[in-house]
Amino acid sequence: MNTASQVEELSIYHQIQLPLDVFCLVHLRTLRVNSTPFVSQFELDDNTISTSLSPLISRLNQVRVLSLINTTASHIPSQALAVLTNITILEIENCGLREIPSTISLLTNLQQLRLPKNNLHSIPHSTGNFSKSLINNSVFSF
The answer to the question of residue 17 being in a domain is: no
**Does residue 4 sit within a domain?**
no
Number of folded domains in the chain?
1
- In 16-138, DSSP assigns E strands to 30-34, 41-43, 49-51, 65-69, 89-93, 112-115
- Could you report the per-residue pLDDT of 16-32, keeping only the tens digit for each? 888 888 888 989 999 99
Confirm whether 52 is domain-assigned: yes
% of the chain with per-residue pLDDT over 70: 72
In a domain, 25, yes or no: no
Whether residue 111 is contained in a domain is answered as yes
Report yes or no on 19 lying in a domain.
no
Position 8 in a domain: no
pLDDT band at 66 (very low <50, low <70, confident <90, very high): very high
Handedness of CA 142, 61, 77, 3 (dihedral sign): positive
Beta bridge partners of 31: 10, 66
* More confident position, 124 or 130: 124
41 or 77, which is more confident? 77
pTM for the full predicted model:
0.81
Please check the confidence at residue 42 and state whether its pLDDT lies above 70: no
Whether residue 75 is contained in a domain is answered as yes
Domain span at 103: 31-140
Rounded to whole angstroms, the Cα distance separating 135 from 127 reads 8
Residues 93-129 pLDDT 10s: 998 888 888 888 888 899 998 988 888 877 776 655 5
What pLDDT is stored for residue 10 in this prediction?
95
CATH number at residue 127: 3.80.10.10
Q: Hey, is 12 helix, strand or coil?
A: strand
